């Protein structure tokens, strides 16, 4: 079954934080045998082109009010410096619906600030870039007891990650979507983390 993944895109988004994720979802090159590559649908505040922090221009496929979470398997929220702004409220409402409906929600780096401001981290295990900073930026945040100082954290269908952990973020998303065999995912992660040749051969062997 083909997975459909919504990717939220906006001006100044941290494009490198979702690079591993989008490349593997779109290509499906290491997916379980017989599983089609995922369909990535870019979602914008509107349909106007956006420019990422890296200067890449992306024209959203749909705008937020066209989202149909019943047809999506995941919503991915990249980092960026504008998550404290009201402009992101509509996608945060969609994010809350995803959690209510059991749809994978991934938020990395600054996107965790948006979730915190929306109250979505107050009762779920999560991480971010730094707890002290999160509390300073989000005075209404009350989820300190659920904060875990790890690179990436999964709580049910919610996945959060530090901006320094795009690789770990991807692993958690792949696992939640169940698109990689466990041995493939392990080899893929260690190859990209260590650059040791042995993991390349393990990766190739796992998809034979």
Catalytic annotation, residues: 109
Which uninterrupted H or E stretch holds 159? strand 158-161
CA–CA separation, 113 and 140 (whole Å): 11
Query: What is the spatial distance between Cα 39 and Cα 10, in angstroms, rounded to a whole number?
Result: 19
d(CA 197, CA 13): 33
Strands 62-63 and 50-51: unpaired
- C-alpha to C-alpha distance for 10 and 61, rounded to whole angstroms: 12
Q: What are phi and psi of 39, to 5 degrees?
A: -95, 115
Contact predicate 155/139, CB 8 Å: no
List Cβ neighbours of 139 (8 Å cut-off, separation of 6 or more). none
Of 207, 185, 177, 193, give the one whose Cα is nearest residue 2.
177
Taking each helix axis from N to C end, the angle separating 166-177 and 182-194, rounded to the nearest 10 degrees, works out to: 170
Q: What is the DSSP letter of 144?
A: G
């Amino acid at each position: 079954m083909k997975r459909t993944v919504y990717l939220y895109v906006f001006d100044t988004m941290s494009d490198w934080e979702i690079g591993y994720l989008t490349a593997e979802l779109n290509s499906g090159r290491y997916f379980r045998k017989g599983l089609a590559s995922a369909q990535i649908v870019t979602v914008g505040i509107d349909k106007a082109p956006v420019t990422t922090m890296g200067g890449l221009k992306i024209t959203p496929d749909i705008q937020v009010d066209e989202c149909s979470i019943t047809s999506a398997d995941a919503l991915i929220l990249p980092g960026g410096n504008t998550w404290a702004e009201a402009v992101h409220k509509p996608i945060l409402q969609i994010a809350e619906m995803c959690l209510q409906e059991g749809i994978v929600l991934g938020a990395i780096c600054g996107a965790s600030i948006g979730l915190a401001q929306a109250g979505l981290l107050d009762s779920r295990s999560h991480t971010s870039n730094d707890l002290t900073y999160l509390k300073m930026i989000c005075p209404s945040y009350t989820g300190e007891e659920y904060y875990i100082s790890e690179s990436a954290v999964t709580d049910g269908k919610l996945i959060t990650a530090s901006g320094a952990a795009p690789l770990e973020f991807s692993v958690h998303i792949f696992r939640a979507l169940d698109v990689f065999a466990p041995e493939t995912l392990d080899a893929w992660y260690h190859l990209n983390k260590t650059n040791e040749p042995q993991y390349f051969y393990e990766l190739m062997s796992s998809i034979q």
